[in-house]
């Protein structure tokens, strides 16, 4: 039976019934508005990421594809039986509580997004029932392609796929290049290309050596959409979804190979905007490969042109269509009011239970607010939590049956109406609770950007042990996109006291400043070093010591120090948070230089704190009440064999340059006390050069 026939199928007396009644559209509009308002902070952040990050720009099309899928399957929806499913309520509550947790104290944008999707799934399941979810599950689940994956997890996956793409592209370049006298060799994710025996410089970095597989999620979203937007058997869809990743890798191999030939014959087109355009063009062959795969699967097994979905069981308590017609009665206002109150009470209890669980697990978060000790707070929270859970059980078991009596002649429609009202009550209560919490705790959901006090390339040169050698030229647009900021600095210094290998006296300083970004995921060097062909030997944490006569205790900061800085422009001293700096340390070997060791240490300055890693920045860098936020990566690379010697030399250089760096960054005491930014000038784009 064709889809057209399915659309036209109706039962006796229902030929004129629409898919969704005007009253149903009104409820859809109300619940959608409440749902968006509840999750608006995450949705706004996701929109900003999709506009600022080319790798996630596909997120704008995700809800459009989901909506088109619903439009395609409106005939199936018309034939399915809708019903109220109680299992949707706990799923919806779980999503709401999880969403609140990942705002604070969890602080994870990715899990906020997944929690929002769980809430939506629970709401739709509760109102429309499991039969309707056989169609509706896909557009809801498909929204996960619009949630940006955690950077650490993303890089773990993408770097491995990038390595495959680099090696495969090198083989393809060598095969095709046999007729053009082109040879290629790969180091990590860097491809060295030889033309007529001459090595081209610079080498080609796969995805600029810093990113993973470009547009990977866009390819996956495209493949899944093509698997479900066409009518297919379930086993065909499984195969097509399983093939999305291999096709994404294959298309990226073609992209890298194309850029390789451009690198030889038209290097100006192998970077910049045209480079991005080539990546977008790859969506065309990707779509062609998915269409070809679908055609092959259709030819493997010929299936009779019938649609089993038209035979969906419609018996039982329920109504045809997502929001089938329900004639209003005089009892509608009381029925809606009862449902709203039920949703409000149950959600309020769930929110209270969540707060009590947090208080029992982390009493330190609330002791200052209630004036009790941590042990007393934990004990009280456990006792009250038991009472709240018992009350929830009573409400669920005693109040619900009274809302829709079994003997009601219009039980089906009234049950639906109560469910819609309960859903609205859930969303209203959660939104009011969230806004009240934000207001009472003075939480700032979106931090304002805070400009640097002076340009990074105006750093004074050290006058002690270290001597300034050079400053790198500005970076290209592609690498700047991966770096994620235009406020950066890359300088080379040499140790005037060094005796030995000339390379050993060199130290490279890299500083990158971020503020006002939608995503607080700093760029880290491990992936870049691996992508350039270096092999990681060791890694872990270390402590860098800032020492010198200029460091002395600062009574205005607990455990803080100040250092005298000449011509800082902001007085004769700058504040330094601490002199024992926690940092991340890695050792790499360079196979092209007889396994010469390269040691790199980096840390972050985030809202006046020194923190060792991106995870620490996300978890501890910003107070929820901070109005402004910034973080600055400070990284030093040295070429010595011994780790202890490397740490000592990095500490020595930073002892001389960190006061100057801090004179450029916002003084957090001035920021918190309202003295900076005085007029909030625009962030400085100095383009001073950077690198990994």
| 451-509 pLDDT tens trace | 998 888 887 777 788 999 988 888 777 677 777 788 999 999 999 888 877 788 899 99
> What was the pLDDT predicted at 545?
92
Angle at CA of residue 600, ends 156 and 557, nearest 5°: 100
pLDDT digits (tens, 9 = 90+) for 569-619: 455 678 888 889 999 999 888 777 777 888 999 999 999 899 998 888 887
> What was the pLDDT predicted at 679?
52
pLDDT higher at 117 or 526: 117
In the chain, how many H helices and how many E strands? Answer: 23, 18
Tokens 């291999």 correspond to what residue? 246
Residue 645 has pLDDT above 80, yes or no: yes
* pLDDT mean across residues, the chain: 78
pLDDT digits (tens, 9 = 90+) for 316-345: 455 555 665 444 444 566 777 877 887 888
pLDDT digits (tens, 9 = 90+) for 340-374: 887 888 788 877 777 777 777 777 767 766 667 77
Which tokens sit at 636? 């030093």
Residue 171 has pLDDT above 50, yes or no: yes
> What was the pLDDT predicted at 370?
67
> What was the pLDDT predicted at 307?
45
Confidence category of residue 38, pLDDT binned at 50, 70, 90:
very high
Biggest alpha carbon distance in the chain?
96
Confidence category of residue 2, pLDDT binned at 50, 70, 90:
very low
* C-alpha span between 224 and 62 (Å, rounded): 11
> What was the pLDDT predicted at 8?
45
> What was the pLDDT predicted at 314?
43
> What was the pLDDT predicted at 300?
75
> What was the pLDDT predicted at 601?
93
CA 224 → CA 65, 161, 220, 229, distances in Å? 11, 19, 6, 9
Q: What is the mean pLDDT of residues 70-80?
A: 86
Do residues 99 and 117 make contact, with C-beta atoms less than 8 angstroms apart?
no
pLDDT digits (tens, 9 = 90+) for 42-56: 999 888 888 877 777
β-pairing, 466-471 vs 596-606, is: unpaired
Q: What is the mean pLDDT of residues 636-665?
A: 90
Instruction: Find which of 495-499, 516-520, 688-692 is predicted with most confidence, using mean pLDDT.
Output: 495-499
Residue 279 has pLDDT above 90, yes or no: no
* C-alpha span between 524 and 614 (Å, rounded): 8
Q: Of 416, 394, 396, nearest to 404 (Cα)? A: 416
pLDDT digits (tens, 9 = 90+) for 205-256: 665 434 445 567 888 888 888 888 888 888 888 888 888 888 888 887 888 8
- Output the DSSP codes for 642-663: -HHHHHHHHHHHHHHHHHHHHH
β-pairing, 190-195 vs 204-205, is: antiparallel
* C-alpha span between 152 and 159 (Å, rounded): 11
Q: What is the mean pLDDT of residues 655-672?
A: 90
Confidence category of residue 673, pLDDT binned at 50, 70, 90:
confident
SS3 breakdown of the chain: % helix, strand, coil, rounded to 5? 55, 15, 30
* C-alpha span between 36 and 38 (Å, rounded): 5
> What was the pLDDT predicted at 345?
82
Q: Of 624, 567, 612, 610, nearest to 453 (Cα)? A: 567
Do residues 456 and 474 make contact, with C-beta atoms less than 8 angstroms apart?
no
Residue 25 C-alpha from the chain's centroid: 33
Which tokens sit at 673? 């006390």
| Burial (Cβ within 10 Å: 0-12, 13-18, ≥19) of residue 215 | buried
């Amino acid at each position: 039976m064709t889809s057209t026939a399915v659309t036209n199928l109706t039962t006796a007396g229902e030929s004129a019934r629409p898919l969704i009644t005007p009253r149903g559209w009104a409820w859809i509009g109300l619940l959608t508005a409440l749902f968006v308002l509840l999750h608006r902070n995450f949705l706004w952040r996701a929109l900003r990421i999709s506009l600022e990050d080319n790798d996630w720009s596909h997120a704008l099309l995700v809800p459009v594809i989901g909506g088109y899928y619903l439009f395609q399957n409106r005939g199936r929806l018309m034939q399915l039986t809708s019903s109220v499913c109680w299992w949707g309520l706990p799923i919806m509550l779980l999503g709401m509580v999880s969403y609140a947790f990942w705002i604070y104290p969890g602080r994870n944008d990715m899990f906020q997004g997944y929690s929002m999707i769980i809430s939506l799934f629970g709401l739709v399941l509760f109102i429309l029932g499991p039969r309707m979810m056989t169609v509706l599950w896909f557009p809801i689940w498909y929204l996960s392609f619009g949630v940006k994956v955690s950077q650490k997890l993303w890089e773990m996956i993408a770097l491995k796929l990038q390595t495959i793409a680099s090696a495969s592209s090198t083989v393809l370049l060598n095969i095709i290049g046999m007729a053009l006298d082109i040879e290629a060799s790969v180091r990590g994710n860097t491809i060295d290309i030889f033309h007529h025996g001459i090595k081209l410089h610079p080498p080609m970095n796969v995805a600029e050596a810093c990113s993973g597989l470009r547009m990977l999620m866009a390819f996956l979203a495209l493949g899944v959409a093509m698997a479900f937007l066409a009518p297919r058997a379930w086993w065909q869809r499984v195969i097509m979804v399983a093939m999305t990743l291999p096709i994404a890798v294959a298309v990226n191999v073609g992209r890298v190979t194309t850029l390789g030939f451009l690198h030889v014959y038209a290097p100006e087109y192998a970077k910049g905007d045209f480079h991005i355009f080539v990546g977008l063009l790859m969506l065309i062959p990707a779509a062609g490969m998915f269409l070809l795969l679908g055609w092959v699967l259709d030819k493997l097994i010929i299936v009779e042109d019938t649609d089993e979905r038209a035979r969906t069981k419609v018996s039982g308590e329920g109504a045809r269509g997502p929001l089938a017609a329900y004639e209003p009665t005089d009892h509608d206002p009381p029925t809606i009011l009862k449902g709203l109150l039920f949703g409000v009470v149950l959600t309020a209890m769930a929110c209270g239970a969540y707060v009590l669980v947090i208080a029992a697990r982390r009493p330190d978060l609330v002791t200052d607010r209630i004036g009790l000790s941590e042990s007393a707070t934990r004990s009280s929270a456990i006792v009250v939590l038991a009472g709240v859970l018992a009350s929830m059980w009573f409400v669920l078991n005693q109040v619900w049956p009274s809302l829709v009596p079994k003997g009601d002649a219009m039980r089906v429609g009234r049950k639906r109406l109560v469910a819609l009202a309960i859903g609205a009550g859930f969303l209203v209560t959660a939104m009011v609770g969230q806004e009240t919490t934000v207001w009472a705790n003075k939480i700032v959901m979106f931090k304002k950007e805070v400009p640097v006090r002076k340009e990074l390339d105006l750093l004074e040169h050290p006058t002690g042990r270290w001597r300034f050698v050079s400053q790198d030229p500005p970076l290209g647009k592609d690498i700047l996109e991966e770096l994620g900021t235009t406020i950066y600095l890359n300088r080379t210094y040499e140790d005037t006291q060094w005796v030995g290998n000339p390379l050993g006296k060199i130290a490279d300083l890299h500083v990158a400043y971020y503020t006002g970004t939608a995503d607080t995921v700093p760029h880290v060097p491990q992936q870049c070093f691996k992508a350039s062909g270096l092999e990681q030997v060791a890694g872990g944490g270390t402590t860098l010591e800032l020492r010198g006569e200029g460091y002395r205790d600062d009574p205005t900061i607990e455990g803080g120090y100040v250092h005298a800085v000449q011509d800082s422009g902001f007085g004769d001293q700058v504040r330094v948070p601490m002199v024992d700096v926690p940092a991340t340390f890695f050792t790499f070997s360079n196979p092209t230089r007889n396994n010469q060791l390269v040691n790199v240490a980096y840390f972050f300055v985030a809202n006046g704190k020194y923190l060792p890693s991106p995870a620490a920045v996300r978890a501890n860098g910003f107070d929820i009440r901070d109005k402004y936020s910034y973080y600055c990566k400070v990284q030093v690379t040295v070429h010595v064999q011994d780790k202890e010697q490397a740490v000592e030399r990095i500490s020595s250089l930073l002892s001389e340059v960190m006061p100057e760096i801090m004179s450029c960054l916002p003084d957090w005491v001035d920021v918190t006390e309202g003295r900076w930014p005085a007029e909030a000038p625009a962030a400085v784009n100095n383009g001073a050069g950077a690198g990994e």
